Structure 1
Amino acid sequence: MKRVDRSRPPSASPRSRLSSEASAQASDGPKSPRRQGISITVGVNGSGSGWQALDWAAAEASAHGRQLHIVHVAGRQVALDPSSAALGLYSVVPIPMERGHQVLEDAVQRARRIAPDVDLTTSLRVGDVVGRLTEADEDASLLVVGRPERRTGVASLRRSITRRIIRRSHLPVTVVALAQDPEHGPSAGRVVIAMNDDRTAATVLQLGISAAASRGLGVTIVHPVDRRPTLDALVSRAEMLSPRTEMRLLAVSGSLTDTIVSESRGAALAVLASAHDRRVRMPWATASERVPSLVRVPTMVISR
């Protein structure tokens, strides 16, 4: 494996099954008989960002010979109970499921065009998006979601939902946002790996190098200057596991987040840790959790 050091100052016929796993009253139905760790779960909501996530997930499933599980979550609707209006009581209103079924049918057709040989399954669920989507990824190896568009109000809420999905999921979560026009950053066409959290460093490095090796790409490892001793041991092990992967080390003495964003322009994939401790309730996003909202590349985030 060729290692380069750089330092920077601050700055077939698919088989698809539509299984409605929740009725309007949120009762669970039978789950798809999928083996653990061999599928990719992708959440779709009928919007542009959801379709981008589906496109990327379908291509990824095809490239790695994995099943693709498509999930749509319909949230509960809450309305004022007319019979108890004076008391201000609210009740859950049954949700028409037609739109959810249509979203999944459209998703299956779209996935088939991209990856005709991938084995497809679908789930329609009702309830909290974060809980139901992360629940659906229990037997998968990766969860894929789209990045909300940059708009005020609803987009801000959706970004919060994306952050909660990252924190709650026990799987790597890839947040997909694709650039409309080609970008040409320092690591264009490479996999950018950010060593921003010591506790998950080995996992982040392993997943990043594995993704690069499967694509025949080089990697750029961005790391703080003071973590170089720890990194050297991990990189030496990675060299033995993937000797053909070209590796570039980039030591950063300033803002790691700014460097990750800069290096990720035009990259094939960015891989980093959320650096959020599950034991601590933190309402705001960590610096690394903001990266998916700042870049236009698929970004895989690993939680502690």
Structure 2
Amino acid sequence: MTIPLVVGIDGSEASLESVDWAADDAARHGLPLHLLHAATDESEASDVLAAASLRAEERAPSVRMSSEVLREDPASALVDRGRNAFALVLGSRGLGGFTGMLLGSVSLAVAARADCPVVVVRGGAERRPARYGSVVVGVEDGEGSGTAVRFAFREARVRRCTLVAVHAWSRRPVRSAVSSPARWYAPEVARRPPDQVLHDALHGVVEPSGELVVTRQVIEGPARRALLDAAAKADLLVVGARRRQGHLGLQLGLVNHALLHHAPCAVAVVPQV
């Protein structure tokens, strides 16, 4: 049985935009699409599902679809379904978002707890038809980027677009957005050369077969700025997230938080496995 792409819906315009994104991606990958709504009002849930289903069918008529209503906390429902999903797709804002809030609380909670990749759909509708033809993946020093690179490679391949691998570095020891405190102040001499970091992350995942154009960017400066700049001309930004040591959930870190709140395009947070 093929695992589905799961999209969380709540009737908001942001969640309907996430349905558009998910329908397109399900069609590219040949995956079934599962619509999930967490609510207590059955009549309201029926209307929400009907509107989302119609939108998905019009967007991708060839995609197999299913839907479900769960009467529980939305974040918990999505995290639970994510244990058997290709990815979870969410809008950046929900119905309960406060004015000025850049990211809904449900989306942030799911991105921090899910076992599968979580895509938060950001940016305007003009970005949905793969406007820029590129997928950007952030690469860090260490082992936290491998799963993210593989996810980004698959997305770039099915989209037939360029994969842009970005590694930001600093000459001075800096506090890592995802590392444990013991590594925040590691001596500079322990760091690998930036070009080597990118080479090692892509080796064995992206082979020089010619089927995919890969661009490597080594940037001296803050990772947040480097990735936001790269995302300005991207259809999807992919970043990794480490598992917390001794705790449930992920270590999203300051960089990932900034990207989820400010990126101009959809952001995929991919757990390290």
**TM-score interval, smaller chain:** 0.7 to 0.9
Tell me if the contact between 2:139 and 2:167 (Cα under 8 Å) persists in the aligned partners. Answer: yes
Q: Secondary structure at the match of 2:44?
A: helix
Cα distance, 1:195 vs structure 2: 0.8
User: Does the C-alpha gap of structure 1 residues 152 and 210 become closer, same or farther in structure 2, counting only changes over 3 Å?
Assistant: closer
Tell me if the contact between 1:190 and 1:212 (Cα under 8 Å) persists in the aligned partners. Answer: yes
User: Does the C-alpha gap of structure 1 residues 152 and 162 become closer, same or farther in structure 2, counting only changes over 3 Å?
Assistant: closer
Aligned to 1:64: 29
Aligned to 1:141: 86
* Equivalent residues in 2 for 1:149-188, closer than 5 Å: 153=98, 156=101, 159-180=104-125, 188=132
TM (norm. structure 2) is: 0.80
How many Å separate the matches in 2 of 1:197 and 1:257?
15
Amino acid corresponding to residue 89 of structure 2 in structure 1: V
Q: Secondary structure at the match of 2:83?
A: coil
Q: Is the aligned partner of 1:252 residue 2:209?
A: no
Cα distance, 1:51 vs structure 2: 0.5
Q: Is the aligned partner of 1:100 residue 2:100?
A: no
How many Å separate the matches in 1 of 2:80 and 2:23?
20
Cα distance, 1:280 vs structure 2: 4.8
Tell me if the contact between 1:42 and 1:54 (Cα under 8 Å) persists in the aligned partners. Answer: yes
Q: Is the aligned partner of 1:130 residue 2:75?
A: yes
Question: After superposition, what is the alpha-carbon deviation per residue over 1:66-85, rounded to whole angstroms, capped at 9, x for unaligned?
Answer: 100000011xxxxxxxxxxx
Aligned to 1:218: 162
Tell me if the contact between 2:242 and 2:251 (Cα under 8 Å) persists in the aligned partners. Answer: no
Q: How many residues are matched?
A: 245
Q: Is the aligned partner of 1:114 residue 2:59?
A: yes
Cα distance, 1:275 vs structure 2: 4.6
Cα distance, 1:152 vs structure 2: 7.3
Cα distance, 1:252 vs structure 2: 1.9
User: Does the C-alpha gap of structure 1 residues 164 and 285 become closer, same or farther in structure 2, counting only changes over 3 Å?
Assistant: farther
Matching residue within 124, 134, 153 for 1:209: 153
Matching residue within 240, 251, 262 for 1:273: 240
Aligned to 1:15: none
Tell me if the contact between 1:73 and 1:129 (Cα under 8 Å) persists in the aligned partners. Answer: yes
How many Å separate the matches in 2 of 1:196 and 1:283?
14
Aligned to 2:210: 243
Q: What's the Cα RMSD here? A: 2.8
TM (norm. structure 1) is: 0.72
How many Å separate the matches in 2 of 1:115 and 1:257?
34
Question: After superposition, what is the alpha-carbon deviation per residue over 1:36-59, rounded to whole angstroms, capped at 9, x for unaligned?
Answer: x53100000100110010001011
Moved more, 115-124 or 135-144: 135-144
Tell me if the contact between 2:102 and 2:262 (Cα under 8 Å) persists in the aligned partners. Answer: no
Tell me if the contact between 1:224 and 1:252 (Cα under 8 Å) persists in the aligned partners. Answer: yes
Moved more, 164-173 or 216-225: 216-225
Aligned to 2:268: 300
Tell me if the contact between 2:24 and 2:59 (Cα under 8 Å) persists in the aligned partners. Answer: yes
Aligned to 1:290: 258
Amino acid corresponding to residue 266 of structure 1 in structure 2: K
How many Å separate the matches in 2 of 1:285 and 1:234?
20
Cα distance, 1:239 vs structure 2: 3.7
Matching residue within 6, 11, 17 for 1:52: 17
Tell me if the contact between 2:150 and 2:205 (Cα under 8 Å) persists in the aligned partners. Answer: yes
Cα distance, 1:162 vs structure 2: 1.6
Cα distance, 1:285 vs structure 2: 5.6
User: Does the C-alpha gap of structure 1 residues 99 and 43 become closer, same or farther in structure 2, counting only changes over 3 Å?
Assistant: same
Q: Is the aligned partner of 1:42 residue 2:42?
A: no
How many Å separate the matches in 2 of 1:98 and 1:278?
43
User: Does the C-alpha gap of structure 1 residues 159 and 277 become closer, same or farther in structure 2, counting only changes over 3 Å?
Assistant: farther
Identity of matched residues, %:
22
Q: Which has the higher contact order (CA 8 A, sep 6+)?
A: 1
Tell me if the contact between 1:271 and 1:300 (Cα under 8 Å) persists in the aligned partners. Answer: yes
Q: Secondary structure at the match of 1:198?
A: coil
